[in-house]
Amino acid sequence: MTGNSMRLLIADDHDLLREAIELLLQRWNPQVQVVHARSLPEALAKTAENPELDLILLDVRMPGMNQLAGLQVTRQRHPTVPVALITGLDESEIAAAAIEAGAAGVIPKAISGKGLVAAIQLILSGERYIPDPRLLEHRGANGDGHLNGDLPDADMDKLTERERGVLMLLTSGVSNKEIARDLEIEVVTVAVHLSRIYRKLGVANRTQAVRKAMELGMALDPDTGTSAKERRFKSARRAPAAPCRPDRAACRASTGN
């Protein structure tokens, strides 16, 4: 990818879907160049002809894919290019397994135009896009829910203000859709925030994130709608000043004595 230009391959046996994705991406970035393929063999041939690809999108159900076998072959031939899968409905098991197999993301066909752009931006930034992080709650390369090796140490200071807001709402047990409604953002944007929150906190799923937030005083109080840290801060601001002692010079100066 040079400057704003971007070249990607979209492989799907439905012409309309490929053309719709291309149109959406070119509205976002007129310099996007799209290579089309209708099957895995055609996709592999096109990738060989276009070595400067920035991203490869593969339909998990198109001819030749054999589910995740096609993903593995493509990643072996192009180890430095992110490869993401396009999936239909009710394919959560494939989605979870694909992430474990090294997919750069799993993009549902029902995603909105804004969501698609956000997903691709996330992948191109080096992150993984997961439409629903709960897919990975009970799966992991290490058998404990963690993905691909050690996770970084938790550091709440690295969370942005928006990520803190998402995390606090998460502790109240609400769904991604409810978080999106409360914060007036897209559901896919919530998923992006959660993915970054998990990485920054060194956790692998919602349950671990909530536990970490509670340990760090970030959980929301259902009665006040504030976190423990916020309540301590507000309490400190409301606390009365210490009584003035007449023997102190500062006190005498402030009272005029």
Render pLDDT for 128-174 as a digit per residue (tens, 0 to 9): 887 766 655 544 433 333 333 333 444 567 788 888 888 888 887 88
Q: Is residue 140 part of a domain?
A: no
In total, how many domains does the chain have? 2
More confident residue, 228 or 44: 44
Q: What is the pLDDT of residue 64?
A: 94
**DSSP 8-class letter at 137:** T
Render pLDDT for 190-212 as a digit per residue (tens, 0 to 9): 888 888 888 888 787 888 888 87
Q: Is residue 249 part of a domain?
A: no
Q: What is the pLDDT of residue 232?
A: 39
110, 208: one domain? no
Please report, rounded to a whole number, the percentage of residues in the chain having pLDDT higher than 70: 70
98, 196: one domain? no
Domain that holds residue 178: 156-238
167, 229: one domain? yes
34, 81: one domain? yes
Query: Given CA atoms 228, 231, 237, 242 in this order, what sign does their dihedral have?
Result: negative
Print burial letters for 205-233: b (CB count within 10 Å at least 16), e (below 16).
bbebbbebbeeeebbbeeeeeebeebeee
Render pLDDT for 211-254 as a digit per residue (tens, 0 to 9): 877 776 665 544 444 444 444 334 333 444 445 554 544 444 44
CATH code of 201's domain: 1.10.10.10
167, 124: one domain? no
114, 178: one domain? no
45, 80: one domain? yes
Given a contact cutoff of 8 angstroms between Cβ atoms, the answer to whether 146 and 204 are in contact is yes
Q: Is residue 250 part of a domain?
A: no
pTM comes to: 0.58
Name the β-bridge partners of 9: 35, 56
Question: Which of 71-85, 113-127, 163-177 has the largest mean confidence?
Answer: 71-85
